[in-house]
A and B are shown apart, each in its own frame.
Chain A
């Protein structure tokens, strides 16, 4: 079983839609969790950290479920500019990246 698992997609959604990604992790001792965004042929950039209480940044909401060992990212009112690959990242002694979920927002 992979340490961090994501559905690679692609998720094709219309503008204005709400889309949610999940990511599961295998190590229950994992300490920190992040979502990164990677545009085509660019480096990954931090989108948001994920806190136990959940956190929101504008149209983006991240949640952590330690009991079921998954984190989620919700994007509301999708924009064309949200099209990218979203990487789930888990930290326990070392940083582990998921394979990424590709999102394509369609006009």
Chain B
């Protein structure tokens, strides 16, 4: 089993609220990712980080922001949630070497914005 965790698992919140989705891993992985996925649809990379103080935007434009102050922690923040942000958000990580380049996923946060 992968040691990567996400909280909360489910979040229902009103429009305009600020939210932070937490992701942490205890595998010492330098690389971490955030994906967005609607039901039955493909994964879209929205943010990634290759190490502390490194963050990049992914292939899909997102109004969310991320930070990477510690290796094990990669939170995602929405300053003002909107119904269009309703989706599942999946965090993943992997190492740098050939033996650790497999990407492991957290269980996801299912976000509903009313």
A interface, CB within 8 angstroms of B: 31-32, 34, 40-46, 49, 87, 89, 91, 94-95, 97-100
Residues of A within 8 A of B34 (CB): none
Residues of B within 8 A of A41 (CB): 39, 88, 110
Stretch at the interface among B13-21, B76-84, B99-107: B99-107
| Contact between A32 and B108, CB atoms less than 8 A apart | no
A88 to B98, CA, bound (A): 18
Residues of A within 8 A of B71 (CB): none
Contact string against A for B residues 9-50, beta-carbon threshold 8 Å, 1 for contact and 0 otherwise? 000000000000000000000000100000110110100100
Please, how many residues of chain B have a CB less than 8 angstroms from a CB on the other chain?
A: 20
Residues of A within 8 A of B103 (CB): 34, 46, 89, 95
Within 8 Å by CB of A49, from B48, B102, B104, lies B102
B interface, CB within 8 angstroms of A: 33, 39-40, 42-43, 45, 48, 88, 90, 94, 98, 101-108, 110
| Contact between B102 and A45, CB atoms less than 8 A apart | no
Residues of B within 8 A of A99 (CB): 42
Residues of A within 8 A of B108 (CB): 42-43
| Contact between A91 and B42, CB atoms less than 8 A apart | no
Residues of A within 8 A of B40 (CB): 40
Residues of B within 8 A of A89 (CB): 103
| Contact between A91 and B101, CB atoms less than 8 A apart | yes
Given the known interface contacts A43-B90, A43-B107, the answer about A97 and B102 at a Cβ–Cβ threshold of 8 Å is no
Given the known interface contacts A43-B90, A46-B104, the answer about A97 and B98 at a Cβ–Cβ threshold of 8 Å is no
